[in-house]
Structure 1
């Protein structure tokens, strides 16, 4: 993750960051308490969004609603730019624990 804008950098209402997922990787299963907008610049990803399988590729934009469990994976890797309102917290669906990811803080 590479942060472009966040409250820690003086932003007041929006966080913006770049995600670079390595080939053969997947992110954790989680939900966010705010909406996120993902724009894929390179590569492709498989997204499990509340049990619905989505395929996204370079040039696609995906709006992920708040409070919906998701997980992304990629066989070939991808780069995406993500925007989210702040504050924004990740939620572990198994434990209910909340955490503010450092790239959003």
Structure 2
């Protein structure tokens, strides 16, 4: 068993959000990754896809997931299951978005004009 104390959570800031890693392969040795995403009002994440499924649950605020020409609104308590290989963009609502996200640790993100990479919050 591994315990990762709150003060040991890893925080990663990007231009679009702040991710706090609770568990991942390099933080607690789990095959899974669990993190929190905090986005400011109307912030837009990059258009990207992952090579593994992710599960997003909104705990504060609201937002939407854009996949191609479709979009789904998300509010507190809503959960989105994003399939591997789904090109998506996460957009925060007018009061921001806080979500808890789970997915395979070490999953690879890619997108238009970007080299594939394992995001640091899930490594």
Contact 1:15–1:83 (CA<8 Å) still a contact in 2? yes
Aligned CA RMSD, in angstroms, stands at 1.2
Equivalent residue pairs, number: 104
Q: Tell me which residue corresponds to 1:55.
A: 73
Larger relative contact order (C-alpha < 8 A, sep ≥ 6)?
1
Asked whether 1:68 is paired with 2:86, we answer yes
Unaligned residue ranges in structure 1 (runs of 5+): none
Q: Tell me which residue corresponds to 1:32.
A: 50
Q: Tell me which residue corresponds to 2:102.
A: 83
How far, CA to CA, are the matches of 2:75 and 2:96 in structure 1? 10
TM-score by length of 2: 0.80
Contact 2:41–2:96 (CA<8 Å) still a contact in 1? yes
Larger Rg: 2
Contact 2:25–2:105 (CA<8 Å) still a contact in 1? yes
